């Protein structure tokens, strides 16, 4: 079962009313307290999930309550507990809900190649995948009902818990159970403060303790900081500490939370205070100890000490906030805003230096991950040199490349996906700061991530920004490359005319480069992209001409892999045009060459394509042999998208040859794979 909720905080009090309301609603939904009403719902075919809408001001603990409810409901919902933070997907205040659906479908086991590209198609896929499931889904940091409604699963046995700072209006005709969270009442606030502080002074000096609770305004975020602050100042009389805080509150009119955080910040050592000011400069909503080390620039030991001091001061979430196993930490949004204000104590030049350090470090790691994940391929950005005081992410673990290449590749892909939000945000940060060389360079490793995880909105925005940066830097090869990369998600989203314009400009720019093999290869790549666009539009004759032209260039410069790939693409285009004998020759050539080059995936795919052409030519026995080899490869690689296509082809072949039971078995296997991936 997928379970994406972090471990509980050490201290949690109160919220009994909200938890009881939720428990009652779930019990009624399950028919445990009102069987007659449950039966009426079942007869009516009601399939809407139970939806809790938790709304409250920042610092009230709504996300932690959502996690607590999800943990409580876990045993009742055996199909998984999922989590999506919409702020992770927010760009310029807007969430691309299509990508949120993609993240949830991925959590439900749908491989990226099965994801439908359009919003409507992905909604249907999500409904199919969640139909009949019993899930708990936490949707964090929603701003509008329109961001939540498409994420509701198609099952009345599921529960959705949505958090927001204010009420979410227009939630499916009032289907939501609103749980507006007030601040903690004084008794619960005192209990939480005492649990965190563990200090006898609170019991010995009740008046001072009451004053402190009132100052915290019942906000758990403030109480956590106050409790840790008391633990750190064991020698100061409690009334005097509170007098200082009260004077600052009344003198400056600063909200209590800000006062407590200011007090905690002033108690930090120089390195911890510096790191705290730096942390908002790390793109994304979470960060690893390596990223903190990189931006601080004083080595891992110093960074670990500073992080530990921030956790002790209550200025950092103390939990490992993800299941990635990399010690990832989160600076909650209110604390991030406070740290940003404290960063104002540093000069603009200092902040620019921090940003450049983290941008270059993340770019270096992305380039290294790209090398491990995609192998040697055509790139044009210079590789970033090691960053002083900032160790690299350890993708490799020893020198035995042959034995461990697959493991290193998997780690690199996993790192790119885990750091996805930071990397995409880094393109914007670098461009805004004028780091054009770095902003453009990010487009290359993000291409490797995009191909494996096609988030269209992120891809379009990132490649557009990288293109603009390359234009400002005057880097023509990267301009050409980014236009090609931008064209693909555009045509995948049906924006054919805009994709055509990008490729036309890419081709024009490529002609201004010299005739070196490197740039001729880039030009051939542009022509290949053009052929792929024409294939997507169904213009197979024009596509075949593009693939043939690209193949001739690759042959001329001695690029065996490029020539093989274009031969494969040309063979498929020619087959679509009905020129089967020529298609068979081309695909046979591509299949043989892919095997010689030890390209397992392309060997299987060229074999499958060749099998399809031979089948149409009436050579069923040869086609069957190629299909079976491709099927074995797909299963070995875990490529269920390929497996389903091959099973379909085997079913047709078996049916034509009178093997109806075999055909039925193949169809059932393909159907099971599609159902597993949310497709009918």
Evaluate whether 562 touches 590 at the Cβ level (below 8 Å): no
Instruction: Decide which of 142 and 233 is more confident.
Output: 142
Query: Residue 42 has what pLDDT?
Result: 47
Q: In the prediction, which pLDDT does 11 show?
A: 83
Determine the CATH number of domain 602-680. Answer: 1.25.40.10
Distance CA 227, CA 234 (A): 11
Domain boundaries defined on the chain:
16-180, 186-266, 270-346, 602-680
Q: What is the pLDDT of residue 251?
A: 45
Report the C-alpha gap between 633 and 639 in whole angstroms. Answer: 8
pTM for the model stands at 0.79
Provide the pLDDT confidence category of residue 400 given band limits of 50, 70 and 90: low
pLDDT of residue 44: 44
Residue 555 pLDDT greater than 70, yes or no: yes
Are 626 and 608 in contact, with CB atoms under 8 Å apart? Answer: yes
Q: What is the 3-state secondary structure (H, E, C) of 480-534?
A: HHHHHHHHHHHHHCCCHHHHHHHHHHHHHHHCCCCCCHHHHHHHHHHHHHHHHHH
Token pair in block for residue 246: 């009260």
* pLDDT for the residue numbered 616: 95
- pLDDT for the residue 207: 83
Residue 272 predicted with pLDDT over 70: yes
Query: What per-residue confidence (pLDDT) applies to 46?
Result: 55
What is the structure's pLDDT at 319?
A: 60
Task: Give me the pLDDT at residue 45, please.
Answer: 44
Contact criterion met (CB below 8 Å) for 442 and 427: yes
Among 142-151, 307-316, 444-453, name the one with the lowest average pLDDT: 307-316
Q: Which of 139-148, 395-404, 603-612 has the lowest mean pLDDT?
A: 395-404
* Residue bearing the bigger pLDDT, 420 or 223: 420
Pairing of strands 94-95, 329-330: unpaired
Taking alpha carbons only, the member of 5, 148, 81, 103 closest to residue 418 is 103
Measured distance CA(639)–CA(636) in Å, rounded: 8
Contacts of 549 (CB under 8 A, 6+ apart): 524, 527
Average the pLDDT over 391-419 and give the result. 79
Q: Residues of 363-400 as b/e, b for ≥16 C-beta within 10 angstroms?
A: bbbbbbbbbbbbeeeebbbeebeebebbeebebbeeee
Q: Hey, which of 179-183, 453-457, 617-621 has the most confident mean pLDDT?
A: 617-621
Cα separation, 324 vs 416, in Å, equals: 12
Of 134-143, 182-191, 348-357, the range with the lowest mean pLDDT is 182-191
State residue 473's pLDDT score: 96
Phi-psi region of 294 (alpha: psi -120 to 50; beta: other; left: phi over 0): alpha
Whether 294 has a pLDDT exceeding 50, the answer reads: yes
> In percent, how much of the chain has pLDDT > 90?
53
Fold of 16-180: Rossmann fold (3.40.50)
Residue 446 near residue 427 (C-beta atoms within 8 A): yes
The predicted-structure confidence for 606-640, as pLDDT tens digits, reads as follows 999 999 999 999 999 999 999 999 999 989 888 88
User: Which tens digits make up the pLDDT trace of 218-262?
Assistant: 788 778 877 887 777 777 777 877 776 666 544 443 455 676 678
Tell me: pLDDT of 476 over 90. Answer: yes
What are the φ/ψ torsions at residue 234 (nearest 5 degrees)? -75, -20
Residue 425: what pLDDT? 92
Bridge partner list, 161: 52, 138
Q: Is the pLDDT of residue 17 over 80?
A: yes
Indicate the CATH number for domain 270-346: 1.10.10.10
Structural tokens at position 87:
């702020």
Distances (CA, A) of 660 to 163, 625, 665: 53, 18, 9
How high is the mean pLDDT of the chain?
87
Q: Quick one: which of 266, 438, 106 has its CA closest to 98? A: 106
Q: How many CA atoms lie within 13 A of 10 on its CB side?
A: 13
Fold agreement between 16-180 and 270-346? no
Pairing mode of beta strands 329-330, 286-287: antiparallel
Q: Which of 19-28, 220-229, 341-350, 547-556 has the lowest mean pLDDT?
A: 220-229
pLDDT of residue 329: 84
519 near 513, Cβ under 8 Å? yes
């Amino acid at each position: 079962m997928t379970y994406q909720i972090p471990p509980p905080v050490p201290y949690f009090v109160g919220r009994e009313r909200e938890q009881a309301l939720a428990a009652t609603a779930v019990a009624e939904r399950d028919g445990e307290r009102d069987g007659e009403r449950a039966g009426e719902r079942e007869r009516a075919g009601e399939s809407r999930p139970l939806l809790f809408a938790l709304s409250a001001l920042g610092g009230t603990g709504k996300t932690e309550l959502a996690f607590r409810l999800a943990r409580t409901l876990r045993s009742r919902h055996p199909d998984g507990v999922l989590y999506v933070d919409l702020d992770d997907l927010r760009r310029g205040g807007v969430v691309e809900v299509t990508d949120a659906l993609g993240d949830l479908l991925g959590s439900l086991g749908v491989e990226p190649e099965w994801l439908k590209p359009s919003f409507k198609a992905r909604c249907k896929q999500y409904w199919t995948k969640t139909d009949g499931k019993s899930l708990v889904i936490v949707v964090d940091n929603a701003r509008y009902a329109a961001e939540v409604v498409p994420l509701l699963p198609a099952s009345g046995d599921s529960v959705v818990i949505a958090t927001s700072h204010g009420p979410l209006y227009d939630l499916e005709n009032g289907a939501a159970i609103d749980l507006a969270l007030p601040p903690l009442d004084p008794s619960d606030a005192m209990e939480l403060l005492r649990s965190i502080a563990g200090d006898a002074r609170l019991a010995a000096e009740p008046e001072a303790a009451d004053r402190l609770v009132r100052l915290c305004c019942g906000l758990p975020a403030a109480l956590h900081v106050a409790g840790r602050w008391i633990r750190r100042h064991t020698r100061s009389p409690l009334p005097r500490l509170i007098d200082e805080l009260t004077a600052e509150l009344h003198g400056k009119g600063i909200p209590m939370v800000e006062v407590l955080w200011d007090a905690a910040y002033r108690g930090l050592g120089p390195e911890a205070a510096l790191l705290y000011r730096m942390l908002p400069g790390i793109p994304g909503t979470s960060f690893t100890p390596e990223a903190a080390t990189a931006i601080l620039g004083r080595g891992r030991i110093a960074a670990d000490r500073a992080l530990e001091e921030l956790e002790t001061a209550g200025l950092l979430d103390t939990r490992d906030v993800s299941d990635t196993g990399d010690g990832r930490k989160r600076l909650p949004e209110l604390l991030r805003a406070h740290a940003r204000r404290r960063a104002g104590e540093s000069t603009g030049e200092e902040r620019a230096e921090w940003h450049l350090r983290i941008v270059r470090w993340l770019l270096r790691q992305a380039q290294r991950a790209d090398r491990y994940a995609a192998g040697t391929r055509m790139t044009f950005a210079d590789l970033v040199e090691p960053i002083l005081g900032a160790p690299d992410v350890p993708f490799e673990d020893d020198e035995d490349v042959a034995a461990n290449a697959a493991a290193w590749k998997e780690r690199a892909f996993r790192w790119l996906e885990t750091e996805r939000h930071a990397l995409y945000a880094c393109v914007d940060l670098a461009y805004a700061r004028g780091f054009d060389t770095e902003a453009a360079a990010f487009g290359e490793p993000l291409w490797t991530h995009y191909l494996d995880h096609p988030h269209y909105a992120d891809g379009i925005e990132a490649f557009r920004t990288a293109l603009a940066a390359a234009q400002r830097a005057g880097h023509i090869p990267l301009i050409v490359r980014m236009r090609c990369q931008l064209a693909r998600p555009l045509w995948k989203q049906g924006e054919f005319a805009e994709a055509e314009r990008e490729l036309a400009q890419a081709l024009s720019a490529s002609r201004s480069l010299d005739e070196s093999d490197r740039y001729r290869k880039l030009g051939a790549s542009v022509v290949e992209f053009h052929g792929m666009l024409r294939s997507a539009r169904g213009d197979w004759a024009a596509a075949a001409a593009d693939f043939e032209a690209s193949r001739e260039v690759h042959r001329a410069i001695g690029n065996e892999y490029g020539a093989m790939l274009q031969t494969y693409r040309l063979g498929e285009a020619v087959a679509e045009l009905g020129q089967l004998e020529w298609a068979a020759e081309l695909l046979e050539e591509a299949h043989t060459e892919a095997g010689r080059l030890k390209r397992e995936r392309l060997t299987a795919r060229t074999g499958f394509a060749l099998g399809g052409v031979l089948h149409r030519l009436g050579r069923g026995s040869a086609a069957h042999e190629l299909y079976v080899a491709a099927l074995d490869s797909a299963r070995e690689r875990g490529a269920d998208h390929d497996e389903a296509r091959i099973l379909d082809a085997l079913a047709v072949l078996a049916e034509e040859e009178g093997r109806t039971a075999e055909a039925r078995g193949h169809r059932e296997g393909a159907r099971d794979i599609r159902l597993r991936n949310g497709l009918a």
